[in-house]
Amino acid sequence: MLINASGLLHKCDEPKPVQAVRAEDSSPAVPSVSVDQDEEKLPVSNAHGSTGSTDSGGAFAAFQSLVASLAPKVDRDEVAAMIKAEMENIVVPTRTVVERLIGDRKIIANSHEKLADVTTDLLSGEHVLMVGPAGTGKSTIAEQAAESLGLPYFSISLSPMTPASQILGYMQAEGEYVRSLFREAYEHGGVFHFDEFDNGHPSVLAVINASLANAQMAFPDQMVKRHDDFRCVASANTYGRGPDRAYVGRQQIDAATLDRFSIETIGVDESLEYSLCMASGLGKDEVLRVLDYVRNLRANAEQRAMTVVISPRASVGMCRLLAAGKTWEAAVESRMRRGMSDKDWGKLCANY
């Protein structure tokens, strides 16, 4: 019989007392065991009370290498090239967002890339002259700019025959004043658009100039004060320096009138053109074929200073005709060639 130092009877199987208690853990009720021994020799208790060992570590490594061998090999450069190629196929037209001071926002999807510039000019109090080839979307920009600003929109198209009375209004024989759209915008505010500005008669442009130069103006019935929210936006195919090869009938615009406007150049927005073509209902591959064709001819016309205008109206028109079942040749004849001589047509189609 063996007696312990404490004087109690010794039992041979008695477990040894716990050796280390975590210093920060002073509660004997929930002891926490810190194990310093070599992991390779002793089992280690995990959070769920199960045990792990050298064997499980090896199995995990084997599992990892198995997963690695099963995963497809990824070549970073190859993936980057694939993403780049896909991105090049994505054509997204500009989405113009106007944040208004009163807290709401106006979003115009499918807008021309220049809508934001024109809207900003108008917002700053400037009048704007948009200059660009036919069919690039100038009139649409004017309308959308008014919408963006939350102002009423008015528009008239000028020609050499447009009389001043269409701007100022006129007095009837009985002495009653007939108001014009311009008077409405001038007096109560709004965006007034003069389409084909460089096609107007010089005497009418002089009236417009006077209306922009002064804060008030004489209408046939009375003097009228210009509203703070009156803005003028004009569109033209030339910069007002007179006719050119493509736009032969255009007027030279007086320098003082031109000086009243900020000028924005409006070119073909190819993303918008693509989107308008897609809206024709023609399949994507055919739309891309039309755009490739039209843009090559457009570049040729420009390089060779030809007088033809190949606007987005031509590409959209071609897509519409093809979607309606016309043959490629018939669509080309109707929308592109349009009676052009063999010589000019050959020049336009060179290298295509």
Ligand X SMILES: Nc1ncnc2c1ncn2[C@@H]1O[C@H](COP(=O)(O)OP(=O)(O)OP(=O)(O)O)[C@@H](O)[C@H]1O
Residues that bind Mg ion (CB under 5 A): 139, 195
Give 217 or 269: the residue with its C-beta nearer to ligand X: 269
Q: Measured between alpha carbons, how far is 291 from 318 in angstroms, rounded to an integer?
A: 9
Give 235 or 280: the residue with its C-beta nearer to Mg ion: 235
CB of 256 to ligand X, least distance (A): 24
Give me the long-range contacts of 343-351 (CB less than 8 A, separation at least 24). 344/306, 344/308, 347/300, 347/304, 347/306, 348/297, 348/300, 348/301, 348/304, 348/306, 348/308, 349/297, 349/300, 350/300, 350/304, 351/296, 351/300
Give 21 or 309: the residue with its C-beta nearer to ligand X: 309
140 interacts with, out of ligand X, Mg ion, none, CB within 5 to 8 A per kind? ligand X
Q: Measured between alpha carbons, how far is 102 from 122 in angstroms, rounded to an integer?
A: 17
Q: Is 53 exposed, middle or buried (0-12, 13-18, 19+ CB in 10 A)?
A: middle
Residues engaged in binding ligand X (CB under 6 A): 110-112, 134-140, 195, 235, 237, 272, 276, 312-313
Give 198 or 300: the residue with its C-beta nearer to Mg ion: 198
CB of 293 to ligand X, least distance (A): 19
Q: Measured between alpha carbons, how far is 199 from 162 in angstroms, rounded to an integer?
A: 9
313 interacts with, out of ligand X, Mg ion, none, CB within 5 to 8 A per kind? ligand X
The answer for residues whose C-beta is within 8 angstroms of residue 73's C-beta and 6 or more apart is none
Q: Measured between alpha carbons, how far is 129 from 235 in angstroms, rounded to an integer?
A: 6
* Chain residue whose CB lies nearest Mg ion: 139
CB of 111 to Mg ion, least distance (A): 16
Give 149 or 217: the residue with its C-beta nearer to ligand X: 149
136 interacts with, out of Mg ion, ligand X, none, CB within 5 to 8 A per kind? ligand X
110 interacts with, out of Mg ion, ligand X, none, CB within 5 to 8 A per kind? ligand X
CB of 82 to Mg ion, least distance (A): 42
Q: Measured between alpha carbons, how far is 83 from 78 in angstroms, rounded to an integer?
A: 9
| Under 8 Å between Cβ of 225 and 173 | no
300 interacts with, out of ligand X, Mg ion, none, CB within 5 to 8 A per kind? none
CB of 219 to ligand X, least distance (A): 28
CB of 334 to Mg ion, least distance (A): 22
